[in-house]
Structure 1
Amino acid sequence: MGKVIGIDLGTTNSCVAVLEGGKPVVISNSEGGRTTPSIVGFGKTGERLIGQLAKRQAVTNAENTVFSIKRFIGRRWNDTEDERTRVPYACVRGKDDTVDVQIRGKTYTPQEVSAMILQKLKQDAENYLGEPVTQAVITVPAYFTDAQRQATKDAGTIAGLEVLRIINEPTAAALSYGLDKQDQDQCVLVFDLGGGTFDVSVLQLGDGVFEVKATSGNNHLGGDDFDNVLVRWMMDNFLQQEGIDLSVDKMALQRLREAAEKAKIELSSMLTTSINLPFITADATGPKHLEMELTRAKFEELVGYLVQATIEPVTHALKDCDLTPDQIDRIILVGGSTRIPAVQEAIQDYFSGKTPDRSVNPDEAVALGAAIQAGVLGGEVKDLLLLDVTPLSLGIETLGEVFTKIIERNTTIPTSKSQVFSTATDGQTSVEIHVLQGERAMVRDNKSLGKFQLTGIPPAPRGVPQIEVSFEIDANGILRVSARDKGTGREQSIQISNTGGLSEAEVERMRKEAEVYAEDDERRRQMVALRNQADTLLYSYETTLRDNADFITDDLRALATEKVAELRAAIADRNTALEEMRSCIDALQQTLLTIGEAVYQQAQAEASEELYDYDATTQTAPWANGHTPPEPPAEDYEEFVDDATITADYEAVD
């Protein structure tokens, strides 16, 4: 069995880790970074750029660069209006009311785009381990709905991974923190503020058991929102100064986003920063430059309401597990956005001055925890038990559009619960089971997960039939609902996988497409290598021709010229097949070998002729200008006529 990797599939950045020698290790990507931007860029010729390469070209290719796709995965069109207005790429309403993206005339689901990022992480892991990787543990925000969890699992399948487990991000971070502290009993609060989501989990650690007591959060709050506040501030200021609205210019908007992120990061360690964007736009008077100063105080004023929004879920989580702030032993900060000083101060104030624990890397802790869970599932880690919870209550619609809860939030998973219901009218022969997730009393205020029918109920007065509805949540937090007529034994069930209308067949089709693209990607890499080889060969040909022109016959020169022309044509044609390119390279290479052989033979023949004409008696040194040098005077040799007579005295020195 191969290694199982742990993946933190983030909104802005992703990370992959693996367990080695009982310790989790972050795997660097092919560019040398320990995290990979969750960005996919689509080039003009169909090539895909993922991670740092995609981020670099985002400004000049804004409409075809997809970022923050995690904000759309498993969500409905009507729920994402704000998010859709913030991205430069085209969002279209997909099948089953989902949010798809349209790039260069082709439509992609959020699962497909996420799978592209996962493929990149999978490839980096394979390069590091030197073996194929087929299994993974993937993390999701604790407050992800059932649909979002299933969609993430589908993305893993499309990427060619068997997803052994979906685990919550704050739980994974707690695993990373507590792996070497299993002998200590402590109550830990994980404060996870990432790029697009916010989670809070309270865990009890001790004796190798990681038990989640409660979880809360906000799927619409993260570092992206802090960036967007700065973008809006810059646009408003520029509009006042220059009278130009930058929101209509997608390239300018992308530059503003990058500048906002950079300023936010700088203000975590500095009190002021300069934002300089030359040639941000132009009008009739010429080019315009954006130059602004931003202080930390102003930044904290702008994002104050976002910082305060992180405190409410903390209160909810503590209330759900009947704990007070002073009963928390450790506060673990996870996610890059927790580096913002205002966030740290807010959480410290809430806990009466208690300093958060900084022993884990906010960007890597989740992936490391996923790798630990992967080790548990792979049998590498013993004596470690993870008990997670469901973040939201689950139930069904009953008479009067009332939401009746069957599984309460913060119930430890896996779990199953049943409840008996009856018909609402006389003679009713079927019932519709409407499954929902949420905390509100009425159906309309909660999230619909799906509907199914139980038919074939014998006609009877209302209230007589006994319909048993069972809810079962697996270890991934994914729900299965069944309904059974206790009188007839007739049963109907549904696997809640309403992730955007992706059936198993569609997921399999997308997986095969991803495999084909991986093959195309490999072909592209091979073609680049062949083009480089061809360039080297052409240079070698030109050098050979220049240095040995006198030795090359006209026939060989004509043959080489023909092969060079064929190779240049193959290089110029973007549609040239790999085999054709190899054939052209081999043909020119063979011609060059023939030329080399001819040059060598000709040079050898000329050297033999010169040797035959050589006359030692008439040869003079080239510097003698054809004259034989005079013999030196005889007296120069008198003292050394006979070397055998030369003697020398030696004196020993003490």
Structure 2
Amino acid sequence: MHQTGSPRPISEPPSPTFSLLSQPAARTFNARPPRAQRRQPDSTASGIAYKLSMKTTEAKNVLVFDFGSGKSNVSPLRVRDNVVENFAFAGGRQSGGNDIDNRIVADITKGFKCTSKQEISSDYSARLRLRAASEHMSTISLPSRRLLSRLTRSSRKPNDDIFRSNLKHVQEVLKDANVTKSSVDEVFLVGGSSQILKVQQMLSKYFDRKVPNMSSVNLDEAIVYGAAVQGTILYGMTLDKVKDLRVLDKGFPLPLRSSFVALHPIQWGLI
């Protein structure tokens, strides 16, 4: 069991970064130690976290909906016995939470300029406050600019096309995997932006009022947890909790870019 020594890396690239250029990139990753032992979509790692959180051994069709700050991706998974099987993925890097925040800030900046004739786009401090308020949907207070405003859910209306594009990803990936929406047993939400109420309502409506699962795994840790589990398997750590787990990815190319995760199974509660 590897509990000491140098970190053992496993790369978990955001699924939308997969590319035809992945072969040269893979050679680059492995040019210097430590070498990457496996590359897989982050949605697969989330599926591993979901599997280990299950209270029963019942087989399920699960849609992983990962909506983070910089990207979104969707994958249909089959979770059964000790197997996590990923059939397809879809997503994009222009449909994440950062894009939503940027639009809200731009919309407020434009509106303030029209009403007060003041330009705040070049005011770094003001933009930081606007961005923080947009992330938490709270009150914006800029006394030096005489600006006081409260953000509401209607403030996200300029982002309706981003929400629709995420729903389109869902439709595309189900079609690619030859899975009907009625056969999806559960929608598993990952990433901070998946907490947006409108996103949850959109998914619930599309899947005929199924309530998305947000409680079984920490939204912000699911991918890293799954990567750590995969590492224990790849590096021969004989942990009862995961020793029989099998992970299958169907037809994924190698990723264009990745980030390495140092695996410390004790930290993630695996030992």
TM-score class normalised by the smaller sequence? 0.7 to 0.9
Match of 1:400 in 2: none
Aligned-pair identity in percent equals 32
Counterpart AA for 1:194 = G
Q: How does 1:501-650 map to 2 (within 5 A)?
A: none
Please report how far the alpha carbon of residue 262 of structure 1 lies from its aligned counterpart in structure 2 after TM superposition.
Answer: 3.0
Distance 1:347 1:155, change over 3 A: same
Whole-angstrom CA distance in 1 between matches of 2:24 and 2:164: 31
Whole-angstrom CA distance in 2 between matches of 1:349 and 1:332: 15
Please report how far the alpha carbon of residue 328 of structure 1 lies from its aligned counterpart in structure 2 after TM superposition.
Answer: 0.5
TM-score, normalisation: structure 2: 0.82
More strand by share: 1
Cα contact 1:157–1:163 (8 A) shared by 2: no
Cα contact 2:14–2:42 (8 A) shared by 1: yes
TM-score, normalisation: structure 1: 0.36
Match among 110, 122, 136 for residue 236 of structure 1: 110
Q: Deviations over 1:409-468 (max 9, x none)?
A: xx2x5xxxxxxxxxxxxxxxxxxxxxxxxxxxxxxxxxxxxxxxxxxxxxxxxxxxxxxx
Whole-angstrom CA distance in 1 between matches of 2:98 and 2:75: 21
Please report how far the alpha carbon of residue 348 of structure 1 lies from its aligned counterpart in structure 2 after TM superposition.
Answer: 0.4
Structure 1 segments of 4+ aligned residues over 4 angstroms from their partners = 147-158
Whole-angstrom CA distance in 2 between matches of 1:314 and 1:189: 9
Cα contact 1:167–1:370 (8 A) shared by 2: no
Cα contact 1:140–1:149 (8 A) shared by 2: no
Match among 215, 236, 240 for residue 379 of structure 1: 236
Match of 2:98 in 1: 224
Whole-angstrom CA distance in 1 between matches of 2:186 and 2:118: 49
Please report how far the alpha carbon of residue 155 of structure 1 lies from its aligned counterpart in structure 2 after TM superposition.
Answer: 7.2
State whether structure 2 residue 79 is matched by structure 1 residue 205: yes
Counterpart AA for 1:319 = K
Cα contact 1:2–1:133 (8 A) shared by 2: no
Match among 344, 361, 365 for residue 222 of structure 2: 365
Cα contact 1:169–1:366 (8 A) shared by 2: yes
Match of 2:169 in 1: 313
Q: How does 1:184-203 map to 2 (within 5 A)?
A: 184-203=58-77
Please report how far the alpha carbon of residue 175 of structure 1 lies from its aligned counterpart in structure 2 after TM superposition.
Answer: 0.3
Cα contact 1:149–1:166 (8 A) shared by 2: no
Match of 1:33 in 2: none
Counterpart AA for 1:202 = P
Match among 165, 173, 178 for residue 38 of structure 2: 165
Cα contact 2:133–2:139 (8 A) shared by 1: no
Match of 1:2 in 2: 2
Whole-angstrom CA distance in 2 between matches of 1:346 and 1:133: 45
Q: Deviations over 1:247-277 (max 9, x none)?
A: 23344333432332232xxxxxxxxx31113
Alpha-carbon RMSD across the aligned residues, in angstroms, is: 2.6
Q: Which moved more, 1:142-151 or 1:303-312?
A: 142-151
Whole-angstrom CA distance in 1 between matches of 2:91 and 2:248: 18
Distance 1:299 1:153, change over 3 A: farther
Whole-angstrom CA distance in 2 between matches of 1:251 and 1:222: 24
Q: Deviations over 1:483-536 (max 9, x none)?
A: xxxxxxxxxxxxxx7x7xxxxxxxxxxxxxxxxxxxxxxxxxxxxxxxxxxxxx
Structure with bigger gyration radius: 1
Q: Deviations over 1:385-421 (max 9, x none)?
A: 21113xxxxxxxxxxxxxxxxxxxxx2x5xxxxxxxx
Match among 388, 397, 415 for residue 249 of structure 2: 388
Structure 1: which 5+ residue stretches go unaligned? 4-130, 264-272, 280-287, 390-410, 414-472, 479-496, 500-654
Whole-angstrom CA distance in 1 between matches of 2:62 and 2:14: 17
SS at match of 1:165: coil
SS at match of 1:347: helix
Q: Which moved more, 1:212-221 or 1:337-346?
A: 212-221
Please report how far the alpha carbon of residue 235 of structure 1 lies from its aligned counterpart in structure 2 after TM superposition.
Answer: 0.3
Please report how far the alpha carbon of residue 167 of structure 1 lies from its aligned counterpart in structure 2 after TM superposition.
Answer: 2.0
Match of 2:123 in 1: 249
Distance 1:376 1:303, change over 3 A: same
SS at match of 1:314: helix
Structure 2: which 5+ residue stretches go unaligned? 258-271
Match of 1:89 in 2: none
Q: How many residues align?
A: 250
